[in-house]
Amino acid sequence: MVIANSDSTGTLVSLGNGLKRVASYQGFDLGSYNEVVTYQPTDLLLPEDTFLDDSEIGLDGSFHSCSLQVDQQLQQQKQPLYLPKKRDAVDQCLRSNMIVMERCDQLLAQTPVVYNDHSKERVLYVAQGEVAYAVPLHCDVLVSDKATTCHIIAMQSCSDHCTPMSSLTHIDSAAYEESVRAMLQDHKTHHRATSVANMDADAMSDSRIALAIHIVGGFEDDKGSSREISNWLISLLACIASEEKDSLKITLETVAVSCMNDDGHCAPIGRGLAINVKTGETFLARCETQVAGPCMSLRSARLWSGIKPKLHLIHTAHSNACCIEPFSYTPFKEIDALLRLQDHVLLRYTSTSPECEEDDFCHSLRSTLTFLRDTPCKQTFGDRLDQPLVYRRIRQSNTWQLSC
């Protein structure tokens, strides 16, 4: 009996670590492939280039005067992201780009912010397989963690006549195209709905919504699961950027995926990501159980329910409530056998990356399995499975109360 279910779903095999960062993709060669890879521009934009070449830095660490005389117009013009036509080495491609890697290095050099019961910030935690949207009125940070091969995606959209909206999700495979597309459409709808009410048609037609995207997740796993997710996700975003280029200006602000996020020992560096809902700043983060929100065992039970891959919406930008929609779950016959296993054996049976899981993996899993075994579905969502659980934040705290 092997049951594969985890906070992670696989990883990536490196094509070689001898790659240098380059400013241009022309003639770039992925060594172990022994072939020249051709690149094409996408409608995904890179962040502004703040990279300084060594030649611009004096021996004393000061900048040469020429580095200060930068053409302001060029600084404001973001560059397009180039990707290989054959989308099977996207992480290696990104690792060769100095602008991308500067942002990646800055992010991964941080010490993760830990949210616990002493934290003053209003936290909204997003578990694996969930998605949440928020505006500053509702919370201070969106956060997700415990990712190994999983990828965490944070977005913030801005326009001239609307409150910025942030969103965050935690995906475990390349099976979420419909859900990811829906996220971008929701950002678009949020701004367009407000714009129609606040500006005339001529003004609205000239404005594009600025959407910043940040992604963390994956490492050099021997099954290649991380790389599969990275290739799929970046390629999908490039496709959407092309389709929506007249309405969305999408910038890939931060990317730390697969080989870019590996610590050199086949383990991820960044496992959690948070976004400041007001400023759009992103940073590494970890969230303790006390502030992770309501019903974590129930929310984790979705991963064992056999439901078709779909991101479950737990919070919208229009209602300050955490909502758990009804879903069907039943205990399976191996639960008791799994619960009797020692932790190191349980880890091997249930995780797709057992060597990389965090220390509380088995404890959390046991809580979820016990909930599945002991709490009937109808007891949670009613006899007809039509009663969602709606929790509301108590004042400005990280405590939630079931709404009657």
**What pLDDT, in 10s, does the model give residues 218-234?**
999 999 999 999 999 99
pLDDT band at 38 (very low <50, low <70, confident <90, very high): confident
Whether 19 maps to a domain, the answer reads no
**Distance (Å, rounded) from C-alpha 132 to C-alpha 253?**
20
Whether 56 maps to a domain, the answer reads no
Whether 396 maps to a domain, the answer reads no
Per DSSP, the three-state class of 256 is strand
**Distance (Å, rounded) from C-alpha 78 to C-alpha 93?**
18
Q: What is the pLDDT of residue 207?
A: 77
Average pLDDT over residues 59-66: 33
The two three-digit tokens of residue 210, written as one number: 């600025």
From the list 11, 1, 58, the residue with the least C-alpha distance to 228 is 11
Average pLDDT over residues 68-84: 63
Whether 55 maps to a domain, the answer reads no
Average pLDDT over residues 88-107: 93
Structural domain count of the chain? 1
From the list 277, 275, 280, the residue with the least C-alpha distance to 317 is 277
Question: What percent of the chain stands above pLDDT 70?
Answer: 80
Q: What is the pLDDT of residue 76?
A: 54
**What amino acid occupies position 50?**
T
Whether 22 maps to a domain, the answer reads no
Per DSSP, the three-state class of 101 is helix
Per DSSP, the three-state class of 277 is coil
Whether 150 maps to a domain, the answer reads yes
Given a cut of 90, whether residue 117 has pLDDT beyond it is yes
Containing structural domain, residue 90: 41-49+77-295+309-319
- Where is 74: in which H helix or E strand? helix 72-76
The two three-digit tokens of residue 60, written as one number: 């004393």
| 376 contact partners, CB below 8 Å, separation of at least 6 | none
Q: What is the pLDDT of residue 227?
A: 95
DSSP letters along 380-403, please? HHTTTT---EEEEE-TTSS-EEE-
- Please, are residues 15 and 214 in contact by the beta-carbon 8 Å criterion? no
| Cα–Cα distance list, 100 to 81, 235, 251 (Å) | 9, 16, 11
Average pLDDT over residues 343-349: 93
